[in-house]
Amino acid sequence: MTIQRILVVDDDHLSRQFLTEAVQELGRKAVSVESAEQALACIESETPDLVLTDMRMPGMSGLELIKAIHEKWNELPTVLITAHATIDAAVDAMRDGAVDFLLKPCSPDSLRVVIERIENTVRLVRENEYLRAEVVGTDPADIIASSTNMLDLLRSASRISRSKGTVLITGESGTGKERIAHYIHRNSLRSNGPFVRVNCASLSEQLLDSELFGHERGAFTGAHRQRAGRFELADGGTLLLDELGEISPGMQAKLLRVLQEEEFERVGGQHTIKVDVRVLASTNRDLVKEVAEGRFREDLYYRLHVLPLHISPLRERREDILPLAEHFAQHFARMNGVSTPSFSEEAQRRLKEWSWPGNVRELENVVQRAVILGCEGAVTPEDLIFGPGLAGSLDGLASQIANLGLDDPEFGLALANNTMSDIERVAILATLDSTRGNKTEAARRLGLTARTLSNKMKIWRQAGLVA
């Protein structure tokens, strides 16, 4: 958060003038009023980022003002300024919501220290809220690269990471565009700042507007409090605009402005906010084609295409397949508390021969299933499930054998070419269905212990294979 607009509340004209000038000397905008009652009305219209208030004023006191602000706008920071310094006053102010306490006369330097401290504190709080809201996937470990393509890409990423230029990362879905963005941030001069990501394809235009730029209280139905956007959260750091090719023409215009001028307004707000953000963008679309067909602004494309990076699909860098598979096997074995399996020669051959339409993400999923579904010692070809996915293949298998008996020739044909893991899961789920979810009875019919059946269900549930 950057504190740009400060409300000064003081009934004494000279003190109010001094504070206003001190705020302006620090490069901030100041709005001043002479009473707490005026301050409450001003907050509604001016939406300040910080309130500096005197303690003793006619009518409502500074302490009462702080309490009223905290009850209605609990995210708006307040600082009490008084010439009557007592421990009790400081304790009361902090208890009622003040974030700091200053003594009159306060110098511009002391005011600057307090403002910067508040900025850092609020930024950390908002970053923590953002991180808690993010879905955590596999850890962003160092990028695994053996192929010439990827090694060249990493060298280019290292060279451009220390600049502030906008980076456009292109490549098919699942190639690792977000990992390259993380790599650039970690190796940049902003590595101590926040790394913030927003998936542009998953949000409607109105929601994306609010996510990127934030909104004021009451800006739309459901906006019950002021909210910082991703650009504010990323101030001093890096913002990744994932799947940028999906945004609407209206959002393209807004994004162009913030890239050019490094400023914007929150949704429903009137005050301009300036930020210092390094923007990375990623897309699986051909933006040159999108520009030619009128779906993407040409000026925005050139603004983004300052430092381009293209990630080749996995099928074009097959030297990376086995090192990646071994890395994922180690990671998921550690996550699930099992020993890391090796890959048999035939499994290695299958991995290298597969076309990998889903790229690295598909490889990660294939290895995760092999580890979770219980390969012992070594991953074999039977443990590798390619194509549209396990759930779809099992649903098809279940429907084929649902009405067949063991002696029916069609039963054997239906089971053919399915892995033992496939068949085991179909048998367990079908038996659970027939026992109406009674695990003890299902385990008895299957010749398993109830604990073994529960463990298998738990593993499948963790992998997202069963509800």
Is 140 domain-assigned? no
Q: Do 427 and 379 lie in a common domain?
A: no
What does the pLDDT read at residue 138?
A: 38
Q: Do 199 and 301 lie in a common domain?
A: yes
**Lowest-pLDDT range, 172-176, 186-190, 379-383?**
379-383
Mean pLDDT of 106-110: 84
Q: Do 306 and 175 lie in a common domain?
A: yes
Other C-beta atoms closer than 10 Å to the C-beta of 280 total 28
Q: Do 163 and 305 lie in a common domain?
A: yes
- Is residue 135 very low, low, confident or very high in pLDDT (cuts 50, 70, 90)? very low
Q: Which residue among 280, 295, 312 closes a domain?
A: 312
What is the rounded CA–CA span in Å between residue 362 and residue 354?
A: 11
- Residue 12 corresponds to which amino acid? D
Here the CATH number for the domain that contains residue 342 is 1.10.8.60
Question: In this model, does residue 133 exceed pLDDT 70?
Answer: no
Looking at the structure of the chain, the number of domains it has is 4
What does the pLDDT read at residue 462?
A: 64
> Domain of 393?
389-467
DSSP 29-89: EEEEESSHHHHHHHHHHH--SEEEEES--SSS-HHHHHHHHHHH-TTS-EEEEESS--HHH
Question: In this model, does residue 295 exceed pLDDT 90?
Answer: yes
What is the rounded CA–CA span in Å between residue 39 and residue 10?
A: 10
Q: Do 259 and 324 lie in a common domain?
A: no
**DSSP type of residue 326:** H
What does the pLDDT read at residue 118?
A: 87
Return the higher-pLDDT residue of 391 and 93.
Answer: 93
What is the rounded CA–CA span in Å between residue 463 and residue 336?
A: 10
What is the rounded CA–CA span in Å between residue 340 and residue 293?
A: 49
Mean pLDDT of 249-267: 92
Asked if residue 43 lies in contact with residue 69, where contact means CB atoms within 8 angstroms, the answer is yes
Return the higher-pLDDT residue of 220 and 351.
Answer: 351
What does the pLDDT read at residue 170?
A: 96
Cβ neighbours for 87, distance < 8 A, ≥ 6 positions apart: none
Is 130 domain-assigned? no
Q: β-pairing, 263-265 with 272-274?
A: antiparallel
Asked if residue 275 lies in contact with residue 229, where contact means CB atoms within 8 angstroms, the answer is no
Mean pLDDT of 18-26: 89
Is 342 domain-assigned? yes
What the block records as the tokens of 65 is 């003002």
For the chain, what percent of residues have pLDDT higher than 90? Answer: 35
What does the pLDDT read at residue 338?
A: 83
Q: Do 93 and 167 lie in a common domain?
A: no
What is the rounded CA–CA span in Å between residue 101 and residue 90?
A: 7
**Lowest-pLDDT range, 73-87, 202-216, 337-351?**
73-87
Q: Count the residues in the chain.
A: 467
pTM score, whole prediction: 0.63
Q: Do 160 and 262 lie in a common domain?
A: yes
Q: Do 238 and 252 lie in a common domain?
A: yes
Mean pLDDT of 92-108: 80
**Lowest-pLDDT range, 91-95, 321-325, 337-341, 426-430?**
91-95
Mean pLDDT of 227-250: 91
Is 237 domain-assigned? yes
**CA nearest to 296, candidates 247, 225, 365:** 247
Question: In this model, does residue 291 exceed pLDDT 90?
Answer: yes
Q: Which residue among 312, 328, 352 closes a domain?
A: 312
**DSSP type of residue 190:** T
124-133, 191-200, 307-316, 336-345, range with greatest mean pLDDT? 307-316
**DSSP type of residue 307:** E
Here the CATH number for the domain that contains residue 445 is 1.10.10
Is 11 domain-assigned? yes
For the chain, what percent of residues have pLDDT higher than 70? Answer: 84
Q: Do 76 and 166 lie in a common domain?
A: no
Is 27 domain-assigned? yes
- On the 0-12 / 13-18 / 19+ scale of CB atoms within 10 A, 148 is exposed
- Is residue 227 very low, low, confident or very high in pLDDT (cuts 50, 70, 90)? confident
**CA nearest to 352, candidates 316, 310, 390, 321:** 321
Question: In this model, does residue 464 exceed pLDDT 80?
Answer: no
What does the pLDDT read at residue 430?
A: 79
Long-range contacts of 391-394 (CB under 8 A, 24+ apart): 391/465, 393/418, 393/422, 394/422, 394/425, 394/426, 394/429
- Is residue 400 very low, low, confident or very high in pLDDT (cuts 50, 70, 90)? low
Is 124 domain-assigned? no
- Looking at 272-338, list the stretches that DSSP marks H as alpha helix, in order from N- to C-terminal side: 287-292, 298-304, 321-336
Calculate ∠ Cα 3-183-117, nearest 5°.
Answer: 20
Question: In this model, does residue 437 exceed pLDDT 90?
Answer: no
**Lowest-pLDDT range, 15-24, 156-165, 228-237, 414-423?**
414-423
Q: Do 395 and 448 lie in a common domain?
A: yes
Q: Do 30 and 104 lie in a common domain?
A: yes
Q: Do 177 and 276 lie in a common domain?
A: yes
Cα Rg of the chain, angstroms? 29
Here the CATH number for the domain that contains residue 272 is 3.40.50.300
- Residue 381 corresponds to which amino acid? P
Mean pLDDT of 290-308: 94
What does the pLDDT read at residue 393?
A: 47
Q: Which residue among 245, 278, 312 closes a domain?
A: 312
Return the higher-pLDDT residue of 7 and 95.
Answer: 7
Is 41 domain-assigned? yes
Mean pLDDT of 258-282: 91
Q: What is the mean pLDDT of the chain?
A: 83
